[in-house]
Each structure stands twice: as C-alpha cells, then as structure tokens.
Structure 1
Amino acid sequence: MSTAKRKPSPERSPAPRRVGGGEDPFRDPALFLNRELSQLEFNRRVMAQAMDASIPLLERLKYLCISCTNLDEFFEIRAATVRTALEYGGPLPPDGLTPAAAMGAIHEHAGRLVQAQYQFWNDTLRPALADAGIRILPREAWNAKLRRWLHELFIEEILPVLSPLGLDPSHPFPRILNKSLNVVVVLEGRDAFGRSGGMAIVRAPRSLPRIVRLPLEVSGGENDFVLLSAILSAFVDEMFPGMRVKGAYQFRVTRNSELFVDEEEVENLAHALKDELAGRGFRRAVRLEIAENCPTPIVRILLQNFDLQENALYRINGPVNLNRVIAVYDMVDRPELKFPSFTPRPARISGDTPFDSISRHDVLLHHPYESFQTVLDVMKAAAHDPDVLAIKQTLYRAGANSPLVESLITAARNGKDVTVVIELRARFDEEANIRLADRLQEVGVQVVYGVVGYKTHAKMLLIVRREGSKLRRYVHLGTGNYHPGTARVYTDVGLFTADPDIGNDVHLIFQQLSGLCTEIKLKRLLQSPFTLHKGLLRMIERETRLARAGRPATIQAKMNALNEPTVIRALYEASCAGVQIDLIVRGACCLRPGVPGVSENIRVRSVVGRFLEHSRVYWFGNDGEPEIYCSSADWMERNLLRRIETCFPILDRDLAARVYEEEIGNYLADNTQAWELQSDGSYLRVTPPEDGMPHSAQRSLLARLCE
C-alpha cells in the first residue's frame, strides 16, 4: 500500500519549537495530542486494513466491522466522558482542549470516518463480496420468489415478537435500548379507534438475528444473505393494517455505557453493579444514527427526544448496524478468502509434571504464536496434583466456558485452597464476571473483588506446591487476560517462573488484595499504584542522566496507549538530553514526536495487522546493562495511578534477548504494517525501501514460531 497522505492537525497546529518560561517548559498544551482524536486516528488505521486489497476479502470485511464496533465503544466511553465534562465541568486535559471544542472535533472527525466506512462498503467491499459469490441482497435485488419467502419468514418468525408502538398522548416515546435496531414509521389514515396517523416506533428485539441466510433453492446462491433491517422496512405495513405507510427509516442510538458506583457507599459491590447494569442500556444518549433519507422533521423529533445536538446526528447510507455483517465471516466456509490457518507452537515443557520443567528454568510464552494451551495444562495439572496446596489467580476477562475456570473448580473440589480475585468492573464483562464469581463461590472458592477505587488489571497466577519438606511457589505473569479466545488473536507475553523473589512478590500482592496491610515492599516487581509510575520515571531519568554524561542512552517500549502527562514530560526531557527513544504505541498516543527542540529524538510507530497488538514491553539501555520488563499496564494515567497492575522483569538473559528481538527489534523493523506518528497528530504508512526487503513483524513471528 502506498504511503498515506499527511492530514492536517486534528485540533491545532503542531508546536514547532520548544517553549520557554516557567519551571517546567513541557507543560505547554501544544505539546500534547488530544486523547479522543488520537483514538479516532487508530480507527482510521484499522479502516486502512479493510481497504488493503492485498488482504483476503473476508478479513477485509472483518476489519470494516471491527472499525464500526470500535467506533461504537468510542462513543459509549470516550465521547460520553467528554459530554459529561461538557455538562458538569472538570479539569482540562493536558492538551488544553475544552470539552465543547473536543466534542465538536470528535463529531467532525468521526463523521468523516463514518462516511469512509459506508462509501467503502457500498462502492468496494459489497460488490467485491458479490463477485466472490457472497451476496448481501438489498431490497431492490429481491425477485418475486425471494420476496414471498421473506414475507413468510416475517409473518411466522419475526412479526410475532414485534411490538410496534404508535406515538400519541397515551403512548409516549418508548425507551430505546443502547445500540439496538429500530425503525421509525410515518403513517397516514385512521385506525379502528379513530386515531389519525402519525409516527410509530418498531423496536427489533435482541432475540432476532440481524442477518438471515437464504436457502439455496430460494436465492440461487450458496452464500446469500439479507439484513433484518431490510426485512423490517420491506414488510412494515404488515404491522399497521389499514394504515398507509408513508415512510420507514431505521435508526440506532448510542448511549453512555460507563458505570457509576460509589464503592465507598455500597455494602455489596456485586449487588450494586447488578442494579447499575440493569439501567446501562438506557443511559444518556451521545450519538444518533439514522437512514440517510429520513425527513428532517422526523430527525428533529428524534434529536429532541434523545437530547442531542445536530452535530451528534449521523445520516447513514446503508444499515445503521453495519458491524453486524461480521456474522457473515463465520457463516461462510471459504478458507481461500481468509488468512491461512496456523497451529500455535506448544511450550517446551518436559518432566513428569510441568513443575519439573519450570523449576529448572523460566518458560516464556509469546501468544498467539505459542499456544495458550500450556497455561491451561499447567492449571489442570495443579488442580489434580496432590502436592499442590493452594492456587491464587486474578481474572479480568476469562471468557465463557473457559477450561481454566473448570480447573479452578476442580481444584477447590479436590480440597485445595483456591482464591480468585475477580474484577467485577471489567468494562462490558461486568455481568459475565458477576456470574463467574457466583459460580466459583458455590464450590468453595474464595472470591475477592479487589480494592475499593482500584480496578485489578494485573495478570497473575500463583501455585503453592509442597516439594519434600519445603513449599515452593510457581508463578505465571502476563501482559494479557487469562482468556483462551483472545489468546488466539491478541499478541501477549506470559512468563512461568519459580524464582523465589518473584514468587514472594506475587504472594505479597495477593495478600494485599485479599487482606488489609500497609504498602508492601517488593523485590523484583513494580506495582501500580505504588511503585510502577515512580519506577518508570526513575528509569527514564537514569537514561537522561546517562545522555547528559555523554553515555549511550536508549529507551524502547511497546504498549497499547500513552497519555500519562508526567511520563510524557519525562520523555520530552530525556529527548532534549539526547536519549534515543522509540515507542511502539498501537492506539492513542498523546505525545507529539519530532517537535524541534522538544522531541526530535522520539519516534512513535503503530503496527496494525492480523493480530491485535496487546503486549506491553519496556526496554532501557542502562549503560550497557539493559533491563527489560513486561507488564499488564499501558503508560496511561488510569493504569499507572488508579489500577492494580504488575510489571515484571525478564531475568533470564536468553529469554530477555528473545523478548527484545521479537517484541521490540522486530516491530521497529516492520515496513509493511507500521505507521509513523507525525508531530501534527497524523500517521504515515511505512513502506519498504526501494532497494530493501519488505518485513512484517507478525508474519515473521508466524513463520518462526508456529508449526
């Protein structure tokens, strides 16, 4: 793909020089990019994957749908947060953008992204899918036979679960669920009670499939589909017999999905969250999507009902829930239109039990290239091993029907002491985690909900085993969740170790989470919210001192996001001192690289590929004695200051070299799926040099590590 064109700054001109005056010259708002607009830039990079003709066709469909889903979550959380600040006030972010200005910029940039999504869907992807024999048939493409079949389907399977609501003084506007599919209908005539026509709302229950596969004998194609929204619009008159339908227009509203629970005021967090979850789908609206041809008077009524301004309106040329088309990916068996399959490599663990191998040497796992099954196997072995006395684990997202959870249950039934720290507030997994907590408690697992005011985001597993006359601790630490599903599509690093110092550190953290104690002193690990932030600043400052002394000084790090202002200012100071800084930041980045006199020595790149980059790895040159850490924490304010996170060193030299080569050097060399952040906040696609070889970090790892 050719290099992307440079785009203008999302919110202001870039700072061209170092600003002077004041005790801290790096507090100038012009030196910070806006977090929300940077997040939208990430979604543009996801869209670029969809538009890349070298990627298999169904994978391009998946990227498009992911970009739509990402945008949904962006409005539910980030845009909703800005709207809350707009209404209730609060401190300005480091970039200095007021909530009003930020909200205006969000809608402007999101509007362009939505336009690009639907233009690509209508003009490129949908026709390409049809050419490949995968048709999503619009109403105008239905023949008489297909229409009869769909009409019968509507009468028998859809109409019985619909409850259309005519709007009048006795039927006020209904509650519209977050992100649900709805149709606003304009009617003419008089009903049986003499009421004149007007507006009606048809809500599509979540029980109805959003995309319907057509039988071969009906449509003539093996992979033909129709969207539920098209069926509702086509047969809407069946819901209002005797009335004339003047128009039917699909719409969808996105609502604030942040949960607000005053943890210090509730006696039972689980019960409080259950109550809050019940109302989440009807919180404050932040965006309205509606059919492009909906008349302006109808739009105004909807905007007024949802208390939205005109700039929160998105007129859609296609299905308002385009992300639902992702179902086609799994419904179509066309391997040639998907990425080639691969088999993750199992870990090299030998001995009668996995503990024999881990006791001899640390074991590194690089997912998804190396199998997460190793973690499941260790847990299964621990559950059945008579010498294992206790298991302690954190769970942020575990996934439905996880074998890992079954092992925890088996361990408890086998009489082992099992403690699980479950984060009930894991966004969009709250309900699943409450159910998981209830299930574990039923079999005698001690379930802990973490610490009031701090999400437990750390990824830790501790197994206590009796070996002879002594107890030995076996530990797994990771950058990603204990989730078999995401372990197949997210890149993450995990470490099994029997190192006594690390084992004791993890023991102390679990003790801190489940009991009451003062701040603990750890020997090997860094922990948020106590030592990780300070430790990062200390290591950045060490490189700064080395550079000022004329010594080689380097910082290289990989993470999902960067917005913590103190860390950013420390990086600016290090850059001014001559430290060479390379950052691989997948998503939002609030640091401006390449600003003369401020960040000339900082380079930021983002890699977007087949797998979601999720690992966090920090490398510091340390005057020829490099240190490398893996962590559950991004360099974000929430992770460093308001969460329970862990950051662990890779002590084995060979494994440390491997982590650096695979996670840092490999990604800095990527010239096919990497994007470089410019000082104005835009990203440029990296392309291979004319006389050089193309290099994809992810493809090289697939070739090297997978079977």
Structure 2
Amino acid sequence: MEELSFFNRELSLLQFHKRVLHQATDASLPVLERVRFLCISATNLDEFFEVRVGGLIELIERGSGTTSFADGMTITQTKEAIAEQAHEFVHQQYTVLNEQILPLLRENGIFILRRDEWVSDQINYLHDYFQSDVLPLLSPIGLDPAHPFPRILNKSLNFIVSLNGKDAFGRNSGRAIVQVPRSLPNIIELPSELVSEGRGFILMSSIIHHFMDELFVGMTVLGCYQFRLTRNTDIFLDEEETDDLLRAMEGELAYRQYGDEVRIELADNTPEDQLEFLLNRCEVGNRDMFKVNGPVNLSRFNDLFDLIKDPAHYFPPFTQSVPRAFKRYDNYFDAIRRQDILVHHPYESFSTVVEWIRQAAKDPQVLAIKQTLYRTGSESPVVDALVQAARAGKEVTVVVELRARFDEQDNVALANKLQRYGIHVIYGVVGFKTHAKMLLIARKEKNQLRNYVHLGTGNYHAKTTQVYTDYGLFSADKSFGEDVYRIFLQLSSMGKMSKMETLLHAPFTLHRSMIRKIQREVDHAGNGKAAHIILKMNSLCEEQLVTELYKASQAGVSIDLIIRGICHLKPGIPGLSENIRVRSIVGRFLEHSRVFYFENNGDPELWLASSDWMVRNMFHRVETCFPVKSKKLRERIIDDLKLALADNTHAWMLDGEGNYHLVQPESEGECVDSQAILLAQWAASS
C-alpha cells in the first residue's frame, strides 16, 4: 500500500475539532449550547497542543524530525502544517466569539461588559470586590536580578505588566508578571440593581486589569497584557524500573504543570517589545505564538453555565429511561438471568449499573465483585457502591488504570480511597493500559457459582454517560462470565494467555480477528454473496486494518464507516476505496460507542467493543470486544446504525482530499437527526 493512501493523523484530529467549532455557529441551537461548543473547541485544542504537538516537539528535539508518517509527511512537515491550520482555527474561534456569540448573548439579555462600558456605580462595586476578594490572593512578581522570570504554570492566565517609576527600594526593571489565581472565578455577575437591562457579567481578567495599578503603589502602569502558556503534559514512567506504580505516578504528577513549552497565547495588542521578551523567556517560536482578538482562553466562558439558569438557553432536559426488563423483577439478577439486557446511553440511564452493584452489596448470595475503572470522576456513585459491597463483606477487586490521561490525579486518589476500605486494588499489566470496561459479579445459586457480567463501550463515569453515546450489555451468559473471569485473572496474576470461548481481547486476538472478518466479507463478495461492513468508532488509524478495508472495497464489499474523529482512510478513491463511505456525526451528544457489523452472507455478526481501531488499542492496551448474541438486541443496534447512516442534520461526509462536508437534507426531503430520534424513542422529556 502506497504511503499516500493515508491521511495524516494529527491533521485529521484537527478536522474533528473544527467540526465541533462549527456547532457553535448553528443557529438552531440554544445560545448557551453554542457557547458550550465554543468552549469545548478551546479545551480540545488545549489538549491537542499538550499531547499531540508536545509529542511531535519531543520527537523533533530527539532528532527524529525527518521521520516520515504513513501519509508521507515528516514530523517537521506535520508540525508546520499543524501551525498553519491551528492559527486559522484560532482565528475562526475568535471570529465566532466576536461576531456571533457575544452579540447573540446580548440579544438574549446576557451582557459580558467590557471595561470601557463600566459606569461609576459598577466600578465602585467592582473595586470593593477587588479589594476584599481578589487583591489578597495576587502575588505580583517584579522582574529584576533577584526575581528572574518565573516558571509559568501550564495553562494559567497571566499578565505581563509594563511599569514606570521606582519602588520603595529604588528598583525599576520596567516589567512584572501577575498570575491570575485559579481559585478565583473566571466570571462574576453584577447585582441586578447595578445593571440597566438584562444581566451583567464581568470577566475576572477585566477586574484585575482595571485595578492593576493598586498592585504597584507609587509606580505607573503603562500597560498590561494577557498571556497563557501551554506545556507538554505527557507523563513518562519507566515502568520496567518502577517498583511502585502508584507512588511513581504521584511523583510525576507534580511535574505535569511544568513540562516543555509548546504554545503561547497573547492579547493581540501586546507591544512588540513585550512580545519578544515573552517569546525569549518562554522559549517559544513565532509559529507557536497565537495573538487573539479577545480574552485569552475561551474556555473561561464555561462559568456562564453555573451562573445562568434560564432553561430557554439550554437543550430541553430529558429523563433517562430504565429498561422495562429491570422493572419486571424484584432484583436485577432475576432479570439478567432470563435475558441479555442492553442499555444505550445517554438515552437510557447509567443508574442501572450503580443500582446493580448496590443490590449485589446487600445480596447474601453475592460473594465477589470485580470491576475495571478507567475514568470514574471525582465523585463516583459506582465507587460508593463498591465501598458498600466491601463493607458488607463481599470480596471486591478493582483494576484501576492510573495512566488514564488527564485523570491520573483522580485515579491515584481513587486507588488510595478503595484500599482504605479493604478493596483489592491492582493496576493492570506493566506496559499495557487497561482500557476494557468490565464488571463481574459472582453469585451462589443452588450451590453453584454463577457469573453475571456487564460489558460496555464506555467508561463507568456517571456524568459522561449523560452526554456520551455508549452501549452496555448485562448478561448471565456462561461463556461471557468465564471469559471475563479469565481476563481478570490475567490482570491480577501472572501466566500464559487464556483461551477465550467468546470474547475477543487485545492485545491478543482482537486485531487478527477483525482482519479475518474483513477477509470473510471479501470471500463472500468474490462468490457473489451478500457482503457489507459497517464500523462505528471514534478513531480509525491502524494501517493494516485500513489496508484490509481497501482490499475489501476493491473486492466489491460495500463499506460504511461512522468515524467521529481521526480517520486515516481515504474514501471514494477509484481503484482503491470507491466502495467506502466515511461520515462523522457531531451533535448534542458525543458519539463514543464502538460497533462492528459484518453482513456475513445474511447471517450477520455484530460486535461491541471498548476499542477503537488504533495501534495503541490493538497492541498496547487491554481491550474487550464482545458479540451481541440476542437477535432482538442485534436488530436494535443495526437499526441504530442505519439511523446514523441516514442522518442529514449533524453528519459530515469525508472526501478523498481530506475535507468534510456537512450533509444537507434534500430540498423536499425529511430532516433526519439520529440523536433526536433516539432521544424521542428511548428517553422522556423532563
């Protein structure tokens, strides 16, 4: 397969962030939901620089800049292309903010007041607030030989201040740095009596800026300018040389905020001398400097969600449903024993998982609970239920993945908490992240041990299950139970790989099994039989699997891909991929489920998985992939896939040049919003 048969991974990810930003321009969405998408695009870009760009810079510094990726671009070329597209992206963000979001907020009576709009009563109120709540927390640093340029905290908001005059000690370096404490709110609301119309809000940065001279008594503040530094936040652990992974992770987390510099954002009115000074001190090049026309760090507008309660500005609320099967029986074990039960989040409630563990904690027949936890959130009802079970005398074992990116701090605290309650905590296998989503409950029934399982495509995180689309399957299937038990045994002990009866799992059988299933469709197409593949996942960038999909297309297999984010594959290329279509759905909810459908000549197979088709998932993580055995449930998920393929409201089609085009309904055709239809079908309005 030629190099140019693949799209660049990093640029493909940037394309996804652009599709998220586009949601902020959608006039059909409530105003604060548009603000939310703008903020998401900002935090996405932060993470992109912290991880993806940071990783590229590391490779370049190691002398790997000329190394080529599968798409034919070198690391240096990729970095340059990112810089060009990222600058365009940031310009689009601030254009959306200034030309759409802020005027729209004002139309709805929500005023983000600039300093030049403040009237005397407001200034007096803000001055009192500054004196009582802000000034005591500020620690300005005058720059002189005794106070060198400080180590700037990752993503903290700062001011560089131009000064004139001498302080009490006769010093005058002409510059100072003021960091905005993270303990302060990003936005405050003015009392209603101080606002002539609507509601008035003030950015904390505006307050500090306005009263900056009170930090430098006797000196003249000539100007102050916002800036923000982004650092490489990847954590490196030499696991082979680490005796205690928990202790090592705790140590490394302290250094995360001070990694190498990868980007600087500045107010676009920053004078040239201050700009050059910051670039020099922060060791950032011009290509990694972003001048912005507005507040630095757009994600600060997230605070509006806690301040504004008007339901007219949000998506209509809904109530997540509970499968009827759970309502028919006194306990969940009776329901699961009779049939496999599927839940589709966020349309159906994640509370079913929590309730099941709570029932297990009280059930005298339950002997043991085993669960994997990758991301749970700081306040987790799942963890509380597991603690209840341990206190009730159940044998509870939890696999905690300490290295879940950006959740490491929470997971370290989680591991310590679980151990305090006598829960067995293990950290998986050295060199392999445990990304599988598994819950096993062992119950003694009629003097025999029966294993009940929950397998999912997403994390056991109560909050994200309200906004991420994922599937979860409850089952008492014997082969499921035995296979899940074997995987837990692998994670907690040492030994050879156990042979699975039903499940596929990475890093052992998943990759080659997917290749065989693709090749089986090729054989069917070659014999004139029905051959169709539908794959839904977050990312597709494992080269061998992409190559096999190309071969399948060339053999006449019809292939539909629903890839939310990164996609290496080029669709619609004559002689290569003319039978492949790629779409991405970006809507109210984050599409997160992994579903693999193979037509198999009229005897379809449908698999759910914790894994995307990426190198890391296939070879460097512990993942699970499980079949949906129930015909009824299988048909339900196939209907969901068909609905996604019919979406003409929030779907984007990828072309062979790497561009995404928003799918539009035909002039007289019906609008199909797959998420809205599923919401109406499975959830109830609040």
Q: What TM-score range do you get, normalising by the shorter chain?
A: over 0.9
Aligned mates of 1:447, 1:89 — CA distance in 2: 40
Report 1:605-620 matches (<5 A).
605-620=583-598
Asked if the contact 2:144/2:173 (under 8 Å) is kept, the reply is no
Q: Contact conserved, 1:177 with 1:281, CA < 8 A, in 2?
A: yes
Structure 1: tracts of 5 or more residues without a match: 1-25
Q: Is the contact made by 2:69 and 2:75 (CA closer than 8 Å) also made in structure 1?
A: no
Structure 2: which amino acid aligns with 1:451?
V
Deviations 1:351-383 (A, max 9, x none): 221100100000000000011111111111011
Question: Which whole-Å CA distance do the structure 2 matches of 1:445 and 1:575 have between them?
Answer: 50
Structure 2 equivalent of residue 9 of structure 1: none
The answer (yes or no) to whether the contact 1:249–1:290 under 8 Å persists in 2 is yes
Do structure 1's residue 665 and structure 2's residue 642 form an aligned pair? Answer: yes
**1:612-632 residue CA offsets vs partner (Å, 9 max, x unmatched):** 000000000111111000001
Query: Out of 435, 451, 454, which is 1:473 matched to?
Result: 451
* Partner residue of 2:215 out of 220, 223, 239: 239
Aligned to 1:341: 317
Taking the TM superposition and a 5 Å limit, the aligned residue runs for 1:255-266 are 255-266=231-242
Measure the CA separation in 1 of the matches of 2:62 and 2:537: 32
| Matching of residues 522-601 of structure 1 within 5 Å | 522-601=500-579
Alignment of 1:199-348 (within 5 A): 199-221=175-197, 223-348=199-324
Q: CA offsets, 1:116-138, max 9 Å, x none?
A: 11111111110110110111111
Structure 2 portions without partners, runs of 5+: none
Give, in whole Å, the separation in 2 of the partners of 1:683 and 1:695.
19
Separation in 1, partners of 2:60, 2:68:
11
Deviation at 1:221, TM superposition (A): 4.8
Q: Tell me what 1:643 maps to.
A: 621
Aligned length: 680
Q: Find the residue that maps to 1:623 and give its secondary structure.
A: coil
Once residues 491 and 174 of structure 1 are traced to their aligned partners in structure 2, the CA distance between those partners, rounded to angstroms, is: 43
Q: Contact 1:135–1:224 (CA<8 Å) still a contact in 2?
A: yes
Runs of 4+ in structure 1 deviating by more than 6 angstroms, as ranges, are: none
Q: Which residue of 2 is the match for residue 414 of structure 1?
A: 392
Amino acid at match of 2:280: Q
1:197 to partner: Cα distance = 3.9
Cα shift readout 1:640-680 (whole Å, capped 9, x = no counterpart): 11101100100000001101111x11100101110000111
Deviation at 1:443, TM superposition (A): 1.0
Q: Secondary structure of the equivalent of 1:597?
A: coil
1:192 maps to 168
Q: Does residue 1:169 correspond to 2:145, yes or no? A: yes
- Paired residue secondary structure (2:167): coil
Give the residue type in structure 1 aligned to 2:298.
L
CA deviation vs aligned residue, 1:557-606 (integer Å, no higher than 9, x gap):
10001111111111111111111110000011111111111011110000
Q: Quote how far apart the aligned CAs of 1:541 are.
A: 1.1
Q: Distance in 2 between matches of 1:618 and 1:211?
A: 44
> Which of 494, 503, 513 is equivalent to 1:516?
494
Contact 1:191–1:197 (CA under 8 A) maintained in structure 2: no
> How far apart, in 2, do the equivalents of 1:164 and 1:360 lie?
67
Contact kept, 8 Å, 2:533 with 2:559, in 1: the verdict is yes
Instruction: Using the TM superposition, give the Cα deviation of residue 684 of structure 1 relative to its aligned residue in structure 2, in angstroms.
Output: 0.4
The 3-state SS of whatever aligns with 1:185 is strand
1:129-180 deviations in whole A, cap 9, x for unaligned?
0110111111111111111111111111111111100111111110111110
- Residue matched to 1:93: 69
Shifted more, 179-188 versus 347-356: the winner is 347-356
Match of 1:498 among 446, 457, 476: 476
What CA deviation, in whole Å up to 9, does each residue of 1:87-134 have, x standing for no partner?
114553211211111111111111111101111111111011011011
What letter is aligned with 2:381? P
The residue matched to 1:506 in structure 2 has which SS?
helix
Q: Does 1:440 align with 2:418?
A: yes
The letter for the 1-side match of 2:75 is: P
Moved more, 301-310 or 282-291: 301-310
Secondary structure of the residue aligned to 1:103 is: helix
Using structure 2 for the length normalisation, give the TM-score.
0.98
TM-superposed deviation, 1:229: 1.0
CA distance in 1, matches of 2:498, 2:276: 57
* SS of residue matched to 2:59: helix
Equivalent of residue 428 in structure 1, options 406, 409, 419: 406
After superposition, the C-alpha distances for 1:388-409 in whole angstroms (9 at most, x for unaligned) are: 0000000001112212111111
Aligned to 1:83: 57
* Aligned residues of 1:167 and 1:199 also touching (Cα < 8 A): yes
Contact 2:606 2:628 in 1 (8 A): yes
SS in 2 for 1:646: strand
Are positions 1:69 and 2:43 aligned together? yes
Moved more, 390-399 or 549-558: 549-558
1:11 maps to none
Does structure 1 conserve the Cα–Cα contact (< 8 Å) formed by 2:163 and 2:175? yes
Deviation at 1:550, TM superposition (A): 2.4
Q: How far apart are residue 30 of structure 1 and its match?
A: 1.1
Q: Distance in 1 between matches of 2:225 and 2:683?
A: 49
Alignment partner of 1:569: what SS? helix
Q: What whole-Å deviation, never above 9, does each CA across 1:412-438 have from its counterpart, x for those lacking one?
A: 111111000000011111011111111
Deviation readout 1:301-345 (Å, 9 max, x if unpaired): 211222211000000111111111011023211111111111111
TM-score, structure 1 normalization: 0.95
- Partners of 1:157 and 1:484 in 2: how far apart? 34
Name which of 156, 159, 168 aligns with 1:180: 156
| 8 Å Cα contact 2:189-2:199 kept in structure 1 | yes
Superimposed CA distance per residue, residues 217-266 of structure 1 (whole angstroms, 9 cap, x where no aligned partner): 22345532111111111111111111111110000011111100111101
Q: Partners of 2:150 and 2:426 in 1: how far apart?
A: 39
Structure 1 counterpart SS, 2:601: helix
Q: Which amino acid aligns with 1:259?
A: I
Q: What is the alpha-carbon distance in structure 2 between the residues aligned to residue 391 and residue 92 of structure 1? A: 47
Determine the structure 2 residue equivalent to 1:106.
Answer: 82
Name the SS of the counterpart of 1:624 in structure 2: coil
Query: Match for 1:691: what amino acid?
Result: E
| 2:640 is equivalent to residue 678 of structure 1 | no
Shift in Å, 1:192: 1.7
Letter in 1 for 2:663: V
SS of 2:318's partner is coil
C-alpha contact (below 8 Å) 1:347/1:365 kept by paired residues: yes
2:431 matched to 1:457? no
> What is the Cα deviation at residue 696 of structure 1?
0.7
Distance 1:434 1:685 in 2: 42
Q: 2:631 aligns with which of 653, 661, 669?
A: 653
Match of 1:692 in 2: 669
Distance in 1 between the 2:42 and 2:632 partners? 41
Q: Which residue of 1 aligns with 2:99?
A: 123
State the distance in 1 between where 2:146 and 2:510 align: 58
* Structure 2 counterpart SS, 1:518: coil
CA distance in 2: counterparts of 1:451 and 1:603, whole angstroms: 37
Aligned to 1:372: 350
2:365 is aligned to: 387
The separation in 2 between residues aligned to 1:642 and 1:197, in whole angstroms, is 52
Larger deviation, residues 396-405 vs 377-386 = 396-405
After alignment, is 608-617 or 691-700 more displaced? 691-700
SS at match of 2:624: strand
What letter is aligned with 1:337?
A: H
Correspondence for 1:29 = 3
Whether the 8 Å CA contact 1:76–1:257 is kept in 2: the answer is yes
Aligned residue for 2:19?
45
